[in-house]
Amino acid sequence: MKKPVLLCVDDDPQVLSAIDRDLRQEFRRDYRVVRAGSGREALAIVRELHEREEPLALILADQRMPDLEGVEVLTQARELFPEAKRVLLTAYADTEAAIRAINSARLDHYLMKPWDPPQQLLYPTLHDLLAAWQRAYKPAFGGVRLIGFQWSPKSHELKDFLAGYMVGYQWLDFETDAEAQTLLARKNLTAHDLPVVVLEDGTALASPTPTEVATRIGLTVQASQELYDVVVIGGGPAGLAAGVYGASEGLKTLVIERQTPGGQAGTSSRIENYLGFPTGLSGSELAHRAWTQAVRLGAEILAPQEVTGLCVQDGYKVLTLTDGNEVKTRAVILTTGVSYRTLDVPGMDRLSGAGVYYGAARTEARSCQEQDVYIVGGGNSAGQAAMYLATYARRVFILIRGESLAASMSAYLIEQIGQTPNIELLPFAEIAEVCGADHLEEVVVRRQGQLERRPARALFVFIGAKPSTEWVCDTIVCDGKGFVLTGRDLVTDPRYATAWQHPRREPYLLETCVPGIFAAGDSRAGAMARVASAVGEGSMAIKFVHQYLDE
Q: For 186-214, what is each residue's pLDDT tens digit?
A: 888 999 999 999 998 889 999 999 999 99
Specify the pTM. 0.77
Q: Render 200-225 in DSSP notation, one character per residue.
A: TTS-EEES--HHHHHHHTT---S---
Q: With 0-12 CB in 10 A as exposed, 13-18 as middle and 19+ as buried, what is 406? A: exposed
Q: What is the mean pLDDT of the chain?
A: 91
Residues 522-550, mean pLDDT to the nearest whole number: 94
Judge whether 262 and 269 are in contact, CB under 8 Å: no
Judge whether 240 and 217 are in contact, CB under 8 Å: no
d(CA 384, CA 271): 7
Q: 146 - beta bridge partners?
A: 171, 197
Range 480-484, long-range pairs (CB < 8 A, 24+ positions): 483/523, 483/524, 483/525, 483/526, 483/527, 484/334, 484/512, 484/519, 484/523, 484/524, 484/525
User: At 95, is the pLDDT very low, low, confident or very high (cuts 50, 70, 90)?
Assistant: low
Confidence check: pLDDT of 515 > 90: yes
d(CA 247, CA 232): 11
User: At 94, is the pLDDT very low, low, confident or very high (cuts 50, 70, 90)?
Assistant: low
Answer whether 227-339+466-549 and 348-463 agree in fold: yes
- What is 144-216's CATH topology? Glutaredoxin (3.40.30)
- What is 227-339+466-549's CATH topology? FAD/NAD(P)-binding domain (3.50.50)
- What is 348-463's CATH topology? FAD/NAD(P)-binding domain (3.50.50)
Q: 169 - beta bridge partners?
A: 144
- In the chain, what are the domain boundaries? 5-136, 144-216, 227-339+466-549, 348-463
Q: Where are any strands of DSSP class E within 149-239?
A: 169-173, 196-198, 204-206, 227-233
CATH architecture assignment, domain 5-136? 3-Layer(aba) Sandwich (3.40)
pLDDT of residue 352: 93
Lowest-confidence segment of 92-96, 325-329, 435-439 by average pLDDT: 92-96
* Most confident stretch, 248-252, 269-273, 323-327: 248-252
